[in-house]
Structure 1
Amino acid sequence: MICALGSAVCFGTASVFQAVAARAADPGTGSGVDPALLLRALRQWRYTAGLALDGLGFVLQIVALRALPIYAVGAALAASLAVTAVVAARVLNVRLSSTEWAAVAVVCGGLAMLGLASGAEGGRTGSTALRWSLLAVALAVLVAGTVAGRLPDKPRALVLGLGAGCGFGVVEVSVRLIDSPNLANPALYALLVAGGAAFLLLTSAFQRGSVTTATAGMVLGETIGPALAGVVWLGDRTRDGLGWLAITGFAVAVAGALTLARFGEPPAAVGTELSEAEVGGTA
């Protein structure tokens, strides 16, 4: 659980840097999956720093997934929105309402319940059909991102966010199905395709459409589906008699994260504030 929370801290802090960098990049063609947008964002030092934090967060996520049920890790990763909110409030002087501060506390309470109720990871290795299904979902995420580029703003933001969340969810499940770098394992390719597609869609979602809508879709995509997969196909369970506490904690943590959905990206004003601060510091 410490690794899962550490991963949330890394991802949440990285979001602040990546979102500002994505907004500063040239939007390009407007396609849902735009590799060139990612390359343009990489020219921003903030995006590179965010990727470094993402890399560390991913390592911690893998460690957590090898010891905890997917539902616990997924809820902890959704809590990265609470981290982003706190970082934006403290470092970038973004104002949080009383409701949003309450949501941060709710997320922490939900994670505490999950920590008490979570058992060890399930002992099932997963079927071959599950591995191929994950690869199919990963490819579908790529297709959905391409189609999203042709949609109006509102549905485009939702599809991009939900697609990114599903991609991250495929990564969570795939980690449990990879014991060694076996090139014949479809889960390995599912992890690579889904992870890359999710990053592309998320970068595009940061720049286009409603941030709140996109982030809410991402939270739902990366928590509910993977949690069900862990319980149904991989044998994830709770401690004896504490199933109700795990379900409550999961629901509470995800609900709190959805309340903080606007912090999937800091408000547009944050970029201006940060730029002005840098100018002042240089002067």
Structure 2
Amino acid sequence: MLCALGASVCFGTATVLQAMAARAAGAGGAGGGAAALLLRALRQWRYLAGLGLDGAGFLLQIVALRSIPIYAVGAALAASLAVTAVVASRLLHVRLSRFEWGAVAVVCAGLAMLGLASGAEGDRTGSLALKYAMLGTSVAVLVLGLVGGRLPDRGRALALGLGAGFGFGVVEVAVRLIADLDPGTLLANPATYALLIGGGAAFLLLTTALERGSVTTATAGLVIGETIGPALVGVVWLGDRTREGLTWLAVLGFAVAVAGALALARFGEAPGTETAAPVEAEEEQQA
């Protein structure tokens, strides 16, 4: 559970650092398009530090998925929105409402309940049919990415966000379905390809959703897609269980943590200049 929480802290902090680097890279109205903006951002230590935290978070996520049930890891990863909100309030001077501070507290309470109730990961390795099902799901997510951008504005962000959530959910399940790291076995395991395709497709879908649609809507879809489905797969097919007599607490903690994360969905993309500027302007006037 500590690894899952560590991954959440890494991902949430990385989002803010990368947002700060992107703001600095675009300062002064520098042009050149998205590619030029990315190149300028890559020259800044904050962006590189964010990438490093993303890598560390992914490694911690893998360790967590091999130690505790998927439902606990999924809820902890969704809690990265709470980390982003708190860090953004400090580094980007973004003001959180009382409701949002309450949502942060709710997320923490839900994770505490999950930590108390979750047991060890299930001992089932997953059938071949499940591995191919994950591969099929990852391909479906990739197809959704190819056609999702053509959807109407109202449904596009939600569809792409859900698709990204399913893709990241495939990664969570696939990690559990890869038991042998021998190169020959890895190449013969459908879960390996599900992990690669699902992760890549999820990243593309999420990027498109945040760029072309509502951040709040896309992130809400992401949270739902990456938590509920993988949790069910872990319980039904992989044998994830709770501690004796604490199933009710695990269900309650999962629901509370996810609900709190949904309340913080606007932090799916760290607030940029347009959000922070009013606060900064007010501070300058006061000075």
TM-score range, shorter chain: 0.7 to 0.9
Q: Which 10-residue stretch deviates more, 129-138 or 199-208?
A: 199-208
Look up the match of 1:238: 242
- Give 1:196's aligned residue: 200
Q: Tell me if structure 2 keeps the 8 A contact 1:41–1:47.
A: no
Match of 1:12 in 2: 12
Paired letter, 1:102 = G
Q: Partner residue of 1:262?
A: 266
Deviation at 1:159, TM superposition (A): 1.5
- Specify every segment of 5 or more residues in structure 1 that has no aligned partner in the other structure, as ranges: 29-36, 278-283
* Aligned residues with identical type, % of pairs: 73
Q: TM-score, normalised by structure 2?
A: 0.86
Kept in 2: contact 1:8–1:80 (CA 8 A)? yes
Q: Report the alpha carbon displacement of residue 226 of structure 1 after superposing the two structures with TM.
A: 0.2
Number of residue pairs matched? 269
* Corresponding residue of 1:176: 176
Q: Deviations over 1:31-73 (max 9, x none)?
A: xxxxxx7896465235543322111000000111111000000
The CA RMSD over aligned residues, in Å, is: 2.6
Partner-residue secondary structure (3-state), 1:267: coil
1:1-283 to 2 correspondence within 5 Å?
A: 1-19=1-19, 41=38, 44-45=41-42, 47-181=47-181, 182-269=186-273, 273=277
Which amino acid is 1:189 matched to? Answer: Y
- Secondary structure of residue in 2 paired with 1:240: coil
**Could you list the runs of 5+ residues in structure 2 that have no partner in the other structure?**
282-287
Structure 2 counterpart of 1:264, which letter? G
Shift of 1:204: 2.0
Displacement of 1:22: 7.0
Which structure has the greater CA radius of gyration? 2
Change (3 A) 1:266 1:61: same
Distance 2:238 2:83 in 1: 29
Encode CA deviations 1:60-99: one digit per residue, 9 max, x unaligned: 0011111100000000000000000001101110010000
Contact map agreement 2:88 2:271 (CA 8 A) in 1: no
* Residues in 1 aligned to 2:215 and 2:16: alpha-carbon distance in whole angstroms: 13
Q: Aligned partners of 2:39, 2:69: CA distance in 1, in Å?
A: 34
**Pair 1:251–1:205, CA change in 2 (3 A):** same
Deviates more, 1:13-22 or 1:118-127: 13-22
Q: Judging changes above 3 Å, is the alpha-carbon distance between structure 1 residues 197 and 26 closer, same or farther for their aligned structure 2 residues?
A: farther
Q: Tell me the TM-score normalized by structure 1.
A: 0.88
State the AA in 1 paired with 2:158. Answer: L
Query: Cα gap change, 1:160/1:19 in structure 2, threshold over 3 Å: closer, same or farther?
Result: farther
Give me the whole-angstrom Cα distance separating, in 2, the residues matched to 1:162 and 1:26.
32
Q: 1:171 to 1:256 in 2, by over 3 A?
A: same
The more displaced of 57-66 and 144-153 is 144-153
**Structure 1 residues 223, 80: closer, same or farther in 2, change over 3 A?**
same
Q: Which amino acid aligns with 2:80?
A: S
